Amino acid sequence: MKKITNAYYIGSENRKGLIDLEIPANFNQKIIVFVHGYMGFKDWGAWNLMGDFFVEEGFGFCKFNLTHNGTTVDNPFDFIDLNAFSTNSYTKEKNDVQYALDWIENQFENLPEIYLMGHSRGGGIVLLNGSDSRIHAVVTLASISSVQKRFADSKMIDAWKKSTIRLITNQRTKQEMPHHFSQYEDFIEHQQELDIQAAGKALKKPVCIIHGYDDTSVSIEEGKEIADWTKMKLNVIENTDHVFGASHPWNSKQMPEALTKVCDIVLDFVDQVTNV
C-alpha cells in the first residue's frame, strides 16, 4: 500500500505540478491516471471521491495538476498565478502528461497497466497521448474532439491578436482569466501534433468514451465524433451535464449519481479489455 499526496513532478518549462498517487493493498496492477480539464485542478469537486472509488476496487489512482492551470504548489485550489495561466497551451498540457508518466514510471520497478483518463479538454489531451507505449487504454469523459474548433472564430482571433490578451470569465470564481495570444500561435505551430481526429484514427488501443446527454459545455456531438474516429462505443449518460452532476466545492461524502455511473462504465470497460 502506498499513498503519496501533493508530491510534485517537473513539467513544461521546468514548472512544478502537484501529483497524487495511491496504491491499495489489494493492488490489481492497473493504474488510472486522471487528467483534469480547462479551469480545473486535481482536487476539483468530486474527483477525490472518484479516486477513492477506484482504489476501493483495487486500482491504483493518480491525479495531478497541469503545470500552467493557474494554481501553484503552495496554493493548489485557487487560480492565483494568472501569468502562468495566460501562457498555457495545449502543447504544454500534452507534454505535462508525458512528464507525469515519467514520474509514475519512477515509482515502480515494473510499470503496471496504465489507463489514461481525461475530462473535457483533458480528454482531448489523453487522446493526443494515447500512442505512448506506456498507455494500455484511454478513457474520455465529456471530451473535446478538436483543438481547432476552439480557434474557429476568425473575428475573435483578429481581436485577440490586436489586444494580445483575451479575457474569459470563470463562471465559478468570476475571475477574468487572461489568455495570451501565444496560445493561438502555439496551436498554429503544432497543429499536426494537436490533431485529435488524426490521433483518434491512428490509435490502436481500446478507448472508453463517456458523455453526458445534457452537456452544454462540450456538445455530445464531439463525443460522437471521437467514437466514430476510434471505432468505439459512445456511452451516453442521460439527464446529466458536463461534470456529471458534480460541482466545486463538493461537500457530500458520496459521488453524484451520474459520476457513479461513469465509474461503473469504466469498471466494465476495464473488465472487457482484460478479458479480451
Which residues of the chain fall below pLDDT 70? 276
Check whether domain 2-146+192-275 has CATH 3.40.50.150, yes or no: no
pLDDT at res. 275: 81
pLDDT at res. 11: 98
d(CA 276, CA 265): 17
Helix/strand/coil (H/E/C) assignment for every residue in 118-170: EECHHHHHHHHCCCCCCEEEEEEECCCCCCHHHHCCHHHHHHHHHHCEEEEEC
pLDDT at res. 276: 67
Exposed/middle/buried for 107, CB within 10 Å: 0-12, 13-18, 19+?
A: middle
pLDDT at res. 54: 98
Cα–Cα distances (Å) from 214 to 166, 210, 219, 263, in that order, read 28, 12, 8, 18
CA 209 distance to own-chain centroid: 13
Number of residues that this document lists for the chain: 276
Domain ranges, ordered by start, for the chain: 2-146+192-275
d(CA 131, CA 141): 18
d(CA 15, CA 68): 8
Stated as kind and residue range, the H or E segment containing 237 is: strand 234-237
Say if residue 249 is preceded by a cis peptide, omega within 30 of 0.
yes
Nearest to 7 by CA among 81, 100, 88: 100
In the numeric block, the cell 498554429 is attached to 188
Q: What is the pTM of this model?
A: 0.98
Nearest to 1 by CA among 49, 61, 80: 61
